[in-house]
Each structure stands twice: as structure tokens, then as C-alpha cells.
Amino acid sequence: MIDTIIWLHDKGLSISHPLFELPNAGTPCFFIWDDGYFKQRAYSLKRLVFIYESLCEMPIQIVQGNTLEIFTEMRPQKIITPYTADTEINHLIKQLAKGVAVETIRSKPFSMTPNSDVKRFFKYWSKAKKTALLEDAGKNL
Amino acid sequence: MRNLQNQFENRQALVNYVQKLAPWAEGDASEIKGGLSQGLEKLQAIDPINYGNTRNFSDGKITRLSPYVHHGIIDLNQIRNEALRHCSQPEQIIKFVQELAWRDFWQRVAEHHPEWVWKDVEPYKTGFKPQDYAEILPDDITSANTGIACIDWFIEDLINTGYLHNHTRMYIASYIVHFRRIKWQAGAKWFLSHLLDGDEASNNLSWQWVASTFSNKPYIFNLENVDKYFGMQVDMSSEHNAILDASYQQLTELLFPNLVERDRHD
Ligand SMILES: Cc1cc2nc3c(=O)[nH]c(=O)nc-3n(C[C@H](O)[C@H](O)[C@H](O)COP(=O)(O)OP(=O)(O)OC[C@H]3O[C@@H](n4cnc5c(N)ncnc54)[C@H](O)[C@@H]3O)c2cc1C
């Protein structure tokens, strides 16, 4: 049984993502080429080629299969994966979380605006601009 | 579970391989290539100062970074940091950073209200009810045969490259929802299958913005507007774009007769 694994989905194709920082450095990482998932989303060949080309530039394993089945077979203790607002990926994550601990990690913030409910852009922007115009969103202020 | 190949002799070999993995997938590969190296090349070429005054034009200083951003290859923090290196005062790049912020905003909206990604956030402000809009996208649209020269040209671009300028996304969405009275969801779904940056939050909420189910009024455009921003590239003759060759007042009367009727009674 594997301890912890990093699962990169198609909305998080980067090995500079904060999830690779300690304590996860060196954790096995892979991408699952899940035909059913792509087919359900009706991705055109253009989209699939773009994803595959991006994967080929990354030092990670690409495995083919059904995401839920692969994780059931592997039985890791924990899955770490990039955060996304994408509803399909979040649906998959919810299903995975029934059998294993799943931790989602966010990319570096664009602004330090509290993650509160927003509806109109300019209301959000009036707060966001205070840090959005600073390097690393003013993290070191 | 099978390990897949990650090295190829050339791009065509990779495309053939992906085609075999997904024989059901439609179309051909785009000329736009994936990968961090391509994304970084585009990042190094940004012109965030001149972006502000030119972004609405076909040849404006837009970045074409969206496919890399959508796939998490390059993040907004990296782009903003790079943009800051191009200016002496942050005010010089405010428009650029504000556009990056639109992505951050849409992601936040989708995080808090995942149901809004596919459901109308508010009623249409067009004088029509949701049931007045067709569910399905007709073939003449998906095959770029609408008979409106500029719209067909933009659709072909979408199908061939998987990338569209923001303005042409707005034109196509407005044409589908308001000129053809089709539900925004049908158009949004079709965009998601083609756009390399196809992103549920940015795409669907922008479609709702055009449709008026997530804004105060419907977005419409006319031939004069397309001519101003895209005239050099596209067949702009009145003959081949007849329905668009009208004033905003005329188009409002044509497209939203119930609104005009209501205004008369107010
Ligand atoms: C109907 C419609 C559908 C859209 N669908 C998508 C989509 O599926 N995916 C997507 O990423 N964007 C979408 N957009 C937003 C916008 O059109 C694209 O982000 C932009 O055109 C991408 O090109 P660029 O990278 O050259 O942008 P640039 O103008 O160079 O902007 C830089 C980056 O800022 C962000 N950005 C800029 N403008 C917007 C905007 N209005 N909304 C959200 N983010 C923005 C993008 O990440 C973009 O890569 C849509 C807009 C409309 C009107």
C-alpha cells in the first residue's frame, strides 16, 4: 500500500505548484489519462493534444485508466491534488474522499482579498486591487 | 493501469498517439502548442503597458496565455509579477491586472456557487423567458455556415485553433443567444469542447454576462463595432453581414420587441 501520492488533474499541470513544496517533496506524482472523463466532457482533439503535449514536458508518470478504479486499486493513505473550482474535478474529488483522505492545495494567491462570497466584479475589484498590484500580492508586507 | 508514452519523435507522432487514445475525439490538432516552454515564451512577450489601449482590437497586445492559465501551467501570480517588471508605476498596468482579476473573480464566484456554472443566476433582461430560448445549437452554427461572413469567420477560427479573442467570444455568444434566441448553456457547452482554455467558470459566467442572466442588460453588437475592431481581417461588406448592419436602436427593436413594447407603456 502506498502512503501518499500527488494526483495532477488537467487543471493543475505544473510541478512548480506549492503542493510540491515540503513536506511533499519527493512524493510520487502522476496524471491519469481517463478516457471516460475526457469523453464525458466532449473535449475535441485540439484540447487533448494540448494536454498531452503539456504532460510530455513534465517529469511525471502518465497512466491510463479510470480515476476511481485506479485509486481503489492503489489504496493510498492520502491523495494530494491542486485546488480547482472546476465542478467535474470537484465531483471526482468528493467521490475519492469517500474512501481516502484527499487534500487540495491552492496555487499562490493573486490577491489577498478574503475569500468571501462575491457577485459583481467591481465590488470585488475595489478590495482586490489593494494587493493585486503588488509583487506576490504583497505577501511580504 | 497502463503507463503511457511521454517521448515522441515529432509533434505528428504525438498527435497520432493521442488520436489512437481517443478515437472518438473530433477535429484536428491546433497550431497552438501545449507545455510550459510555450507558456513561458508567451509570458516573456507580454506588453502590459500597451495592453490597456489596444486589447479590444484584433491586433492588440493581448497575451494568448489563457490555455496555459486554464491548465494551471502558469498562474496569475506569475503573470502579475512579470507585468510589474515592465512598469515603473503599477498604475501603468492597471487595466492588464484588472483583466487578470476577472479570472480570479469568476473562479471565486464558481467556488461559492458551483450551481451557477450551469444555471441561470438571474432572469434574462431581454423581455423573454428561459423557455423562449432553444435548447440546441443548429448545425449551421457549429459548421460555420450561418451566412453572416464575420460570424462564420470567427467560428472557423474557433474550430481550427481553439483560441478566440475576447471580443469575438462576445460577438459569437451574443449572436447565438440574442440574434438566434438559443439558450446560453448550448453555446457555452460547445465553446468548452473547442476552446483550449475552455473553463467552466470563465466561460459559462461570461456567457451569462452576455445573455443578461448575470448582468444588468444583454450585450449586443453591430457591424460598425466589428468593423472598428476587426475590419482589417474580415469580410465586412453589408451584403454578407446584412442582419448586423443596423443601429443599436434598430437592433434593440428587432431583438427585444417585448422590452420596447414595455418601454412604450412605462
Ligand atoms: C463568451 C465568453 C467565453 C469565454 N470563455 C473563456 C474560457 O473558457 N476560458 C477563459 O480563460 N476565458 C474565457 N473568456 C474570457 C476571455 O475572453 C479570455 O480569458 C481571453 O480572451 C483569453 O485570451 P488572452 O489570454 O489573450 O487574454 P488577455 O487579454 O491577454 O488576458 C490575460 C489573462 O487574463 C485573464 N482574462 C482576461 N480577460 C478575462 C475575462 N474577461 N474573463 C476571465 N479571464 C480573463 C485570462 O486568464 C487571460 O489569459 C470568455 C469570455 C467570453 C465573453
* Chain B touched by A91 (CB under 8 Å): no
In a domain, A86, yes or no: yes
Whole-number Å distance, alpha carbon B99 to ligand 1 midpoint, is 8
CA distance B260 to chain A (A): 27
Q: How many structural domains compose chain A?
A: 1
In a domain, A123, yes or no: yes
- pLDDT-based confidence at residue B18 (cuts at 50, 70, 90): very high
In a domain, A140, yes or no: no
A contacts of B34 (beta carbons < 8 Å): 49-54, 57
**SS3 sequence of chain B:** CEECCCCCCCHHHHHHHHHHHCCCCCCCCCCCCCCHHHHHHHHHCCCHHHHHHHCCCCCCCCCCCHHHHHCCCCCHHHHHHHHHCCCCCHHHHHHHHHHHHHHHHHHHHHHHCHHHHCCCCCCCCCCCCHHHCECCCCHHHHCCCCCCHHHHHHHHHHHHHCCCCHHHHHHHHHHHHHHCCECHHHHHHHHHHHCCCCCHHHHHHHHHHHHCCCCCCCCCCCHHHHHHHHCCCCCCCCHHHHHHCCCHHHHHHHHCHHHHHHHHHC
Residues 33-62 of A with CB under 8 A from B: 33, 35, 38-39, 41-58, 61-62
Which of A50, A61, A121 best tests the B interface by mutation, with the highest count of B CBs <10 A?
A50
Residues spanned by the domain of A85: 4-135
pLDDT in tens, B153-194: 999 999 999 999 999 999 999 999 999 999 999 999 999 999
Checking if the pLDDT of B266 tops 60, the result is no
pLDDT value at position A26? Answer: 86
* Chain A touched by B64 (CB under 8 Å): no
Average the pLDDT over A41-51 and give the result. 98
Tell if the CB–CB gap between A44 and B193 is shorter than 8 Å. yes
Tell if the CB–CB gap between B201 and A86 is shorter than 8 Å. yes
Q: Is the CB of B55 under 6 A from ligand 1?
A: yes
Compare all CA atoms of chain A with the CA of B105 and give the residue at the minimum distance.
Answer: A121
A contacts of B108 (beta carbons < 8 Å): 85, 115, 118, 124
In a domain, A141, yes or no: no
pLDDT in tens, B233-255: 889 999 999 999 999 999 999 99
Q: Is the CB of B103 under 6 A from ligand 1?
A: yes
Percent of chain B with pLDDT over 70: 98
Q: Which of A44, A135, A137 sits opposite B26 (nearest CB)?
A: A44
pLDDT value at position B1? Answer: 78
CA distance B254 to chain A (A): 29
> What is the domain-level CATH number for residue A12?
3.40.50.620
- Interface predicted TM-score of the whole assembly (ipTM), two decimals: 0.97
Tell if the CB–CB gap between A110 and B77 is shorter than 8 Å. yes
- pLDDT-based confidence at residue A44 (cuts at 50, 70, 90): very high
pLDDT in tens, A68-92: 999 999 999 999 999 999 999 999 9
